[in-house]
Amino acid sequence: MDLEGIETGIEVVGEPKIANPLVNNDNQSRDRYFVSDDDRVLISVKLDELEALHRAGQTPPSFELAGPREKIYFDPSKLRCALITCGGLCPGLNDIIRAIVLELYYFYGVRNIYGIRYGLRGFISSFGHDIMDLKPETVSHILNMGGSILGSSRGPQNIDEIVDSLERMSIGILFMIGGDGTLMAATRIADVIKQRRMKTCVIGIPKTIDNDIHLVSRSFGFDTAVDVATAAIKGAHNEAQGYPNGIGLIKLMGRHSGFIAATATLAQQDVNFLLIPEIDFDLDGPSGFLETLEQRLALRGHAVIVVAEGAGQKFFEDGQSERDASGNIRLKDIGLLIKSRIGAHFEAKGIDVSIKYIDPSYMIRSLPANANDSVFCGFLGRDAVHAGMAGKTKLIIGHWNNHFVHVPMTASAGKRKQVSPYGKLWRTVLEATGQGSLKNE
């Protein structure tokens, strides 16, 4: 990992001077309960990198440990908070909302908590969306619901209008749950708030089912996605085995990063070919995918293929100029292209095949979180509240080296984590599938 230039300092809106009311709910000592800003988590724990920094006289970069502080900035009796969910749906959104609301209400005594409906549009008066008053009774039953009770939307909105709305509502803490586009918007909102000298904190909770946010080792929803993707692979394998020359083809999420597809492949090791955005491959030629697939069918009589949605975009002649409302390139459907090319390849050779195509993407996105994700979301939501109450701003709650930490938005937003072609995950995939490079060298 390149450790140069990683900023880890966390901004605050003011000095915290109020005693944290959480001490009244704790039977342990203050020292054991509260976290200090001096409690740090090293970004890298590799000995060679740490020794190199030591020789250069540099302090190893580290993140603030997340958790409750002994002093808080906001008076809970006067504080108003707002929550917003943006971008695509993801398992765990309601778990995050519930954790934030219950922590604010029961443990800090905050009574004014508002849900902004349908993403950033909810701040813009012309859309006419009502605000949801969030109380414990509002969120007590939502753990088993998929999606988000606040709704969502894509696309940019006017930042000044958003901050105008925050100012009118006297919001002290804004919790933004979303992916990379949301975090970039949150960064701009925080900057405008600072320019206006407002005392409003912006706390981000990173959301991406693809697990591709930079400097975040795990994002919520990923575990649930892998669970369901694994079930799809099982079904595809059963279908493939049930027919002569049976082929099970599964398309999974992963616009730019193949973490779901790779992890599900290792969780259910019936996959013979994995195609992800980070690893180039050829369709035709002696070492290409189609010829290798033909060899697999001749040897074993069936095959299972997993393809991430962003893989193989080079095979589309009409380019990728179209973009969605969030500015993301509209990907072409690689799953259907692979299915078509497989059919044409074997038809030209007079070989009968039976292709079963499975695309569980939207079903996965709208499901409730599984048990592991639900617990993980509880930690994220509560630590987001602790950070906001302490007056910290322009940060995201991340998970790093098995700890929850404060990551500056500027260190993460606009950057992407990807599967390394030389890393352990991809090496293990190659060992499990035996697929080779699928490149004509």
- Both structure tokens of 436: 């080779």
In 3-state terms the chain splits into helix, strand, coil percentages (rounded to 5) of 40, 20, 45
- Beta strands (DSSP E) in 102-261 are 112-116, 131-133, 173-178, 201-206, 246-252
| Distance of alpha carbon 391 from alpha carbon 16, whole angstroms | 7
CA distances from 429 to 67, 231, 277, 313, 334 (A): 36, 18, 14, 21, 20
* Residue 219 near residue 269, CB atoms below 8 Å: no
Question: Which positions are annotated as active-site residues?
Answer: 210
Return the HEC string of 328-358: CECCCCHHHHHHHHHHHHHHHCCCCCEEEEE
* Closest C-alpha to 383, from 73, 83, 99: 99
* Residue 306 near residue 271, CB atoms below 8 Å: yes
* Closest C-alpha to 11, from 218, 219, 207, 193: 193
Residue 409 burial (CB count, 10 A): 26
